[in-house]
Structure 1
Amino acid sequence: MNNNSLLADSVVDSAAVESASPAVGRSQWSTRLAFILAATGSAVGLGNIWKFPYITGENGGGAFVLLYLGCIALIGIPLLMAEILIGRRGKHSPPYAMKALAAEAGVSSRWQLVGWVGVITGFMLLSFYLVVAGWAVAYIFNAGSGAFTGASGDEIGGMFGALIGDPWVTTLWGTLVLAITAAIVIKGVKRGLERAVGIMMPGLLLILLLLVGYAMTTGQFARGFEFMFSPDFSKLTGTSVLVALGHAFFSLSLAGGGMMTYGSYLPKRVSLGKTVMTIGLLDTLVALIAGLAIFPIVFANGLEPGAGPGLIFVTLPLAFGQMPLGQWVGVLFFVMLSFAALTSAISLLEPAVSWLTEKRGFSRLKAGVLTSAGIWLLSLGSVFSFNIWAEHKLFGKNFFEVLDYLTSGWIMPLSGLAMAIFTGWIMSRAATHDEVGDGPGYRSWRFLVRYIVPVGILAIFLNAIGVLG
């Protein structure tokens, strides 16, 4: 097929999308930078700053980092392109974007289920994400009060246990996070999302750089750098590959509805390929810089880099309590972590609010309040998982762990697989070409999303359900 026939077909396809479900008065990002900041904020969350450092520590450092970068390039970025492409071409909230593109492709409208899954996934994710985000906000005040200064590991572990063991305190902090998130989303794309990420993302990056500057004074920066960037491939295992694959998928905030919704606000004039590459690069850069900030501090205090999930809420506070200026470094760190959590939280709430305003004609205020109320009620199950319901298990997992397992183990990988198949095999080449543009970048993306991405996601799914690993 030559470029002229591709262009002709794309005009027909675009007309099909518009006639299937016109997007009247849909908001758009003011600038390409606004979208990049919002999408990067969605991707840069607790996973980059909390999870990436400890899984790097658990899997040997530098070799794992290289493996992770390869997975981002081959799996994460192509799927991110696919999800944003669907949103921009569909010009609607996820269910109706998928419905419009299914009509364009001449296939069953049941493909809109993929969009519905995105909205529901964002709802479920936010219900337990805000609980963890609440811990981060609480720790700003713990650090500022000097609670970590001179405290032993047992004492700091006891502080964390006391926090999650008190349902009322945990609910209070989670409710604060949800209220801030809802207030931002209710104001809309330009007055809410753009302004919020325009403050929080530069703030996050500035604090991160300040923390790296501090890490350089610990005397262990060279060791931290070597740990992250000097590969020892003997430390890699088959499990390391699966962990890298999984984190590459989840660190870019894929298959949660947010990127598709954000894509629906993206003007046609913006280069999709360059923009997605920038988002992937910034997201990865934040994870790497977070490691450079954290590992020297950990090494300087004789602690273990592979401390697991407790690295952020137990190991690092122990370090902050022992080092010069640790009180203020701790405050900065948890402010940064809270910013990362909030920029991701707004992208999880936006798909449901977008759908309610589009389908039901609700104002953003009404949609935001109703959606937040439902998320708050569901979040109580995650709060109670660590106290009131701690003894209640389903297949050995508490409520929090069940939600995490369902979303990250089943729903998101299967949704991501469906999006890869839809953009790679169901949408016409003319339609995807019209969005991505011509050149080797398009051909590389199409090959990856058709052949490599599905295999990678299938491996993530099989690992999550226990077939691999």
Structure 2
Amino acid sequence: MAVGPKHEQWSSQWGFLMAAIGGAVGLGNIWRFPYMTGENGGGAFVLIYLGAVLFVAIPILIAELQLGKRGHKDIVSGTRKVAIAAGKSPRWSIIGWLGLLAAFFVLTYYSVIAGQVLDFVMLSATGAFSGVDPEVARAHFDDLQNNPPRMILWHTVIMAITVTIVAHGITGGIEKAAKIMMPAFFVMLIGMFFYSMATGDFASGWNYMFTFNLDNVTANTVLMAIGQAFFSIGIGFGYMLAYGSYLPKDISIPHTAVIISLVDAGVAIIAGLVIFPLVFAYGLTPDQGPDLIFRILPMAFSQMEYGGAVGTVFFLLLTFAALSSAIAIIQPAVSYLEESHGMSVKASALTAGAVAWFIGLGSILSYNVWAGHYPLPMFDTFRDSNFMSVIDYVTANYLMLVGGILIAVFVGWSFKADWVKSEFKGDNPIFFNTWLWLVRVVAPASVAIALYFQLVA
């Protein structure tokens, strides 16, 4: 097997934090979290989601970063290396394969959605949402979806930017881009928060998100909250495993994982407090699913005094979030090609990007030309699912969850004691023992139950 170049390291903890937070803070927070909240009972969903972050996602994220750091290679080779060193079967490298495949297939349609966001930046900036009838503003998304060449253009732009950044390596590409994009993202997010507080129906938005009603809690609410915690933070997608492999020895994984997770959850909450007050202020309803961002919010922007400017800022911050995640989820495939197959980082990035771009065309056609085509009608689960829906469902409901369970079980039960304890030096023993109990029992059991109900459903 060809030997790749020397494995890079993050130049600083700040650089790693910005890249990791950028990977976690993406469309899952600003696009997916608000509509999931709207579809699953508001405050009840938020509370269960926060519990899932604390007791399921954070313990597994700590384990995933430890596994990546210990492997110090691409996620397939690194997982195999650690398994052998722990005296276990090299077949545990399945963890790396699941993460690589989950991240790569998510990238194929993530780039398509990010392209739609970028299109809306241009629409907002050119006044498409300013002073027009709300239904006209709403119709822009239909126009985009029914225009394959236009969608392909923006899909190509997003993938080209992603490949260009990743082709410059960890420190010269991903870390440098994250240090620029993430501060800009947070400035725009905070600005939007204060704007929403000043001009929106903030009281209604707040009550919607933080009023807990037991009547709204169902088994599906719990399952969706666990899935959202995974999807948002990026558990089981392979990129946290990859990012962990570039960590220097002196960075504390437990503390860093807690920071990443809490910032990620905080962004999701703030995004909800940006979106819902604006939705309520203009008499719109929040339980509109994925349409919330692309159809409902433009209707609100069309009625604002400075709707064009506000819409431009909102979709620009969403673009930054999407790009920071796209460069994260392509990295497992890039590092695998580079280190296990001896390709240069530029060739690896171009190859991974080109293949993902091509598969992404299927997701674009799912909106229009293939709108009535269902590739797997022989399976009840996928009888009414188009190409994009099948990929989304398999990655988010199977690959990601199975990968998360395996990471928790492998690190919790198979890691050598001194490996684990070395990452908790100086920490309160209660912190370590609580994490060990959560990662060994609570987290994998919770995810396994969620996976079981997915299979039964």
Same fold (TM over 0.5): yes
Task: Report the equivalent of 2:364.
Answer: 383
Offset of 1:186 from its aligned partner?
Answer: 0.4
Q: Does the 8 A contact of 2:145 with 2:368 survive in 1?
A: yes
In structure 2, which of residues 442, 445, 451 is the aligned counterpart of residue 452 of structure 1? 442
Q: Does the 8 A contact of 1:91 with 1:97 survive in 2?
A: yes
Alignment map for 1:116-127 (pairs within 5 Å): 116-127=97-108
Offset of 1:267 from its aligned partner?
Answer: 0.9
Alignment map for 1:348-363 (pairs within 5 Å): 348-363=329-344
Task: Report the equivalent of 2:420.
Answer: 432
Residue 403 of structure 1 aligns with an amino acid whose one-letter code is: I
CA RMSD of aligned residues (A): 1.7
Alignment map for 1:249-398 (pairs within 5 Å): 249-393=230-374, 394=376, 395-398=383-386
Q: Separation in 2 of the partners of 1:108 and 1:23?
A: 24
Task: Report the equivalent of 2:409.
Answer: 421
Offset of 1:152 from its aligned partner?
Answer: 3.9
Paired residues, number: 447
User: Please, which moves more after superposition, 247-256 or 436-445?
Assistant: 436-445
Q: Unaligned 5+ residue runs, structure 1?
A: 1-21
1:188 equivalent in alignment to 2:169: yes
In structure 1, which of residues 91, 106, 130 is the aligned counterpart of residue 72 of structure 2? 91
Offset of 1:55 from its aligned partner?
Answer: 1.8
1:130 equivalent in alignment to 2:118: no
Partner SS, residue 217 of structure 1? helix
Task: Report the equivalent of 2:390.
Answer: 402
Residue 384 of structure 1 aligns with an amino acid whose one-letter code is: L
Q: Unaligned 5+ residue runs, structure 2?
A: 377-382
Residue 314 of structure 2 aligns with an amino acid whose one-letter code is: F
Q: Does the 8 A contact of 2:152 with 2:364 survive in 1?
A: yes
The alpha-carbon distance between structure 1 residues 463 and 325, as it changes in their structure 2 partners (threshold 3 A), is farther
Residue 310 of structure 2 aligns with an amino acid whose one-letter code is: V
Deviations 1:293-344 (A, max 9, x none): 1111111101112221100000001000101211100000000110110011
Percent identity between matched residues is 42
In structure 1, which of residues 454, 458, 463 is the aligned counterpart of residue 453 of structure 2? 463
1:208 equivalent in alignment to 2:189: yes
Task: Report the equivalent of 1:233.
Answer: 214
Offset of 1:23 from its aligned partner?
Answer: 9.8
Q: Separation in 2 of the partners of 1:53 and 1:368?
A: 32
Offset of 1:420 from its aligned partner?
Answer: 1.0
Q: Does the 8 A contact of 1:153 with 1:314 survive in 2?
A: no
Deviations 1:61-89 (A, max 9, x none): 22322211111000111111111111001
In structure 2, which of residues 418, 433, 446 is the aligned counterpart of residue 443 of structure 1? 433
Partner SS, residue 10 of structure 2? coil
Q: Separation in 2 of the partners of 1:406 and 1:363?
A: 31
Q: Separation in 2 of the partners of 1:152 and 1:53?
A: 24
The alpha-carbon distance between structure 1 residues 226 and 391, as it changes in their structure 2 partners (threshold 3 A), is closer
TM-score, reference length from structure 2: 0.94
In structure 2, which of residues 59, 62, 71 is the aligned counterpart of residue 81 of structure 1? 62
Q: Does the 8 A contact of 2:168 with 2:345 survive in 1?
A: yes
Q: Separation in 1 of the partners of 2:292 and 2:124?
A: 15
Partner SS, residue 308 of structure 1? coil
Q: Does the 8 A contact of 2:227 with 2:397 survive in 1?
A: no
TM-score, reference length from structure 1: 0.92
Q: Does the 8 A contact of 1:54 with 1:308 survive in 2?
A: yes
Q: Separation in 2 of the partners of 1:127 and 1:280?
A: 25
Residue 384 of structure 2 aligns with an amino acid whose one-letter code is: G
Partner SS, residue 146 of structure 1? coil
Task: Report the equivalent of 1:242.
Answer: 223
Q: Does the 8 A contact of 1:23 with 1:92 survive in 2?
A: no
Q: Separation in 2 of the partners of 1:233 and 1:152?
A: 38
Q: Does the 8 A contact of 2:4 with 2:342 survive in 1?
A: no
Alignment map for 1:162-177 (pairs within 5 Å): 162-177=143-158
